[in-house]
Chains A and B, each alone.
Chain A
Amino acid sequence: DGGITQSPKYLFRKEGQNVTLSCEQNLNHDAMYWYRQDPGQGLRLIYYSQIVNDFQKGDIAEGYSVSREKKESFPLTVTSAQKNPTAFYLCASSIPGRDAYEQYFGPGTRLTVT
């Protein structure tokens, strides 16, 4: 079955450590996205990529970095510069362009930094 996988489901890190969240899709979608979700704030866009080897900052990119070396993979690194990294992180993919294609979401990774 096609879909998006995120691993791990739960992740714990000590403050000051970088951590990388995995996102893989087999939907053959060109566009991929990373969102952060905090209670009562909805989804906020961190980074997005429309094509391999290209990505753009979203609304809250500070303290995060991404890479897009393969179409199916879009890992997110939460760096020690991110002041409040504890959150639920969601990866999504879509077909880019002008058509009304919806986003497909992975199951999410809950990151806790202490």
Chain B
Amino acid sequence: AQSVTQLDSQVPVFEEAPVELRCNYSSSVSVYLFWYVQYPNQGLQLLLKYLSGSTLVKGINGFEAEFNKSQTSFHLRKPSVHISDTAEYFCAVRGYNFNKFYFGSGTKLNVKP
């Protein structure tokens, strides 16, 4: 079975500072990768996804992620965060041959003024 590891459960950061949320996955086959955001008591919204091609993927709200196959990582970055980015972020994997999605345990981003 595939697994997804989000190395940081909480990340505090000041407004306008850069941030990186880390995600590693275990898989012996190629995968599709996703980042979702969840605001309190809401469902998950897709931020971005990696399918193939360029390893740098741009998403909504100024987020981007870089796929690194050799390190099996898919870290999420934003050069300058806003208070409104305070939320929980989930990394997810879907294998080519699977109809199931595997989610990390989430990283809570807390942006301070």
Contacts and interface: CB of A to CB of B under 8 A. Distances in A.
B101 interface: yes
Please report whether the interface of chain A is mostly helix, strand, loop or mixed according to DSSP: strand
Interface residues of B, number: 25
Contacts of A104: 46
A105 B45 contact: yes
B46 A107 contact: no
Interface residues of A, number: 29
Contact of B42 (A48, A58, A100, A107): A107
B41 interface: yes
Contacts of B36: 105
B41 A48 contact: no
Interface in A1-43: 4, 6, 31, 33, 35, 40-43
Interface of B: 6, 9, 32, 34, 36, 41-46, 49, 51, 90, 92, 94, 96-97, 99-101, 103-106
